[in-house]
Amino acid sequence: MFNEFVFQSDVVDPARLIPFDTKYATKVNGKYRYFQRDELCQFAVGRETEDFSFILLGIENYAYTNYKAPVTSMTYDALDYQRQATMIYEEHRSKGVWMSEAEYMSRYPKGAYLKPVITLIWNLQPMEWDGPKTLKEMMKPGLVDRFGRYFNDYGATVIDPYHIPEEVLNHLSNNLRAVMGYSKYSRDPDELYEFVSRQEIMHNLDPVTADLINLTTKSGLDLSKYQGEDGGVSMCLAIEQMRNETKQAKAETKQEKAKRKKADAKIKSLVRLLKEMGKTESEIETYLNSQGLSLVGV
């Protein structure tokens, strides 16, 4: 995800990713409040003999639109920078390194370096992200126009499958392409079936990825029906059956509507006849009820 949507090149090597602590604690009114990211990894940049250093890569997963996403992203990043600054200060103090008054008051040694934090927000819902992606979008346009240059904006990088072109999908790794593509096309059974049929991995998808797709798109599939002896799930068969069931349901609904329309026409004719016979509305309703008929829609 970072290579494709952030760096646009193969910067991140999975072998050099190290899972990092996702929990943060901050003191508010004398009490500790805890926050936790969804995913955070430390990535080694460069070589140990050259420009060896680290950056932190975080992902927040949402099965709904988070309308304060820029604030959430900014908060997590700020908490991590604060954690880093505290750790650097405590490390210097524990080693007995002399610090100036300014360093002591700052609780941070001069010239120390923080690790950059990059956060992505992954839209898991099978629909377009319609929330703000920058802090300024959360403010009145008039105020932004007048004072926007005086305060810092903060952006949230949102990965929205709804807007991912087919050619970009094809560049993703197999499992990620399966999840992103399914989410992108899940609203249309025919488009979804075409996408799934083109993806070889969908014929034998690992159960964890299949579960993720089923849950985040609320497809409601009984995946056990399409699981092979090796545990892989045939999403192609699942989607084909789902598409057939959708078509059958539409056909049955159409037939029911036609039957109802025909029945309503007969009731209307009967009501007209009873009125011509001089029957009152109350008498007509009583008669129809005795015959198990209804005036609703007539």
CA 296 to chain centre: 43
Q: Residue 239: its pLDDT value, please?
A: 86
Q: Residue 130: its pLDDT value, please?
A: 93
Q: Residue 174: its pLDDT value, please?
A: 87
Give the type of residue at 111. Answer: G
Owner of token pair 């399966």: 178
Cβ of 271: how many Cβ atoms within 10 Å? 19
Looking at the chain, how many residues does it have? 298
Task: Kindly calculate the radius of gyration of the chain based on its CA atoms and give it in whole angstroms.
Answer: 30
User: CA angle at residue 117 from 60 to 122, to 5 degrees?
Assistant: 20
Model-level pTM? 0.73
Distance separating alpha carbons of residues 146 and 150, to the nearest angstrom: 9
Cβ of 58: how many Cβ atoms within 10 Å? 20
Residue segments in the chain with a per-residue pLDDT below the cut of 70: 47-52, 249, 251-252, 294-298
b/e per residue 191-225 (b: at least 16 CB within 10 A): ebbebbeebebbebbbeebbebbbebbebebebee
Q: Residue 150: its pLDDT value, please?
A: 95
Domain ranges of the chain: 2-163, 178-273
Q: Residue 167: its pLDDT value, please?
A: 87
